[in-house]
Amino acid sequence: MKSAHDLVSDAKTRIEEVDLHAADAAIRTADVLIDVREADEYQAGHIPGAVNIPRGLLEFKLSNDPTLTRRDLNLVLYCKNSGRSALAACALQDMGYSHVLSIAGGYEAWHASGKPVQTAQLPAFD
């Protein structure tokens, strides 16, 4: 029986990960930067320009949103530390997406390196 760690390890052999140095360029050329974490994680802090499509909804969202169905889109994915994004990248490749990258180390590595982050802005209720 495989564990989650086994599945992530296997996925990482089948996908392309970019390190933090290459991530900036990958994001600049991406059609879509996707944060596959849950909504509360995204709201607590995310990479500027990222859209939030949680891992559990990813295949459905991309299949049903006409702006995301082109299989030649340049997609860059990330999660907390790159496990979920590796699994997500595998799933998207299985769906026929040909340009999928995952950011090694995920949001944790991005944030720890001092790169810019964005948080949700709540309205003032004065």
- Integer Rg of the chain from CA: 14
In the chain, where the domains are located: 4-112
pLDDT (0 to 100) of residue 122 = 66
Q: What is the mean pLDDT of the chain?
A: 95
The Cα 84–Cα 80 span in angstroms is 8
State mean pLDDT over 14-20: 96
- Of 33, 50, 36, the C-alpha closest to 119 is 50
How many other C-beta atoms lie within 10 A of the C-beta of residue 110?
Answer: 19
CATH fold for the domain made of 4-112: Oxidized Rhodanese; domain 1 (3.40.250)
Q: Which of 38-47, 71-80, 116-125 has the lowest mean pLDDT?
A: 116-125
The Cα 68–Cα 95 span in angstroms is 12
pLDDT-derived band at 105, boundaries 50, 70, 90: very high
Token pair in block for residue 53:
């499509």
What would the 3-class secondary structure string for the chain be?
CCCHHHHHHHHHHHCEEECHHHHHHHHHHCCEEEECCCHHHHHHCECCCCEECCHHHHHHHHHHCHHHCCCCCEEEEECCCCHHHHHHHHHHHHCCCCEEEEECCHHHHHHHCCCCCECCCCCCCC
pTM of the model as a whole: 0.93
State mean pLDDT over 40-68: 96
pLDDT (0 to 100) of residue 120 = 75
pLDDT (0 to 100) of residue 82 = 96
